[in-house]
Each structure stands twice: as C-alpha cells, then as structure tokens.
Amino acid sequence: MSTTEYQNESETVYVSKGRGNNYHGTPACSDIAPKAMTLEDAQEDDYEPCPMCNTPEQ
C-alpha cells in the first residue's frame, strides 16, 4: 500500500459498520463495509489504528 501522510484530525478514516474496533486509512482494507468519519471522531469512539494499512495515529 502507498504511504499517506495525515496532517490533522479532520482527515477522513474508515470504520467497519458493526464489526471490529479499528479505523482504516483506505476503505479497501480488510474487506470492510466502510463508514467514513473524521480521525478525531474515530478516536473519540475508541477506534484504534489498523495494523494492516497506513492509518493516522494523531
């Protein structure tokens, strides 16, 4: 996967609808049915960075 730099908490990340607790940098990671949200919202909802794709941590 390509490297993407995330510059702020308003960056879009993707979470699985109803399964898992990771957020993803791409909607194509891990065969998820993605729901887009901001990085800030994902972190507030206790999602964690996906270890398989290049996700932002801050």
Give residues with Cβ within 8 angstroms of 55, minimum separation 6: 6, 13, 22, 23, 24, 25, 49
Evaluate if residue 52 carries a pLDDT over 50.
Answer: yes
Evaluate if residue 45 carries a pLDDT over 60.
Answer: yes
Element (H, E) at 22: strand 22-24
Q: Report the amino acid identity of residue 41.
A: D
- CA dihedral over 52, 33, 41, 9, signed as positive or negative: positive
Q: pLDDT: is 39 or 53 the higher one?
A: 39
Output the average pLDDT for the chain: 76
- Kindly report, residue by residue over 19-32, the tens digit of the pLDDT: 788 888 888 876 76
The pTM is what?
0.64
**Whole-number percent of the chain with pLDDT over 70:** 66
The span from the CA of 40 to the CA of 1, in Å, is: 23
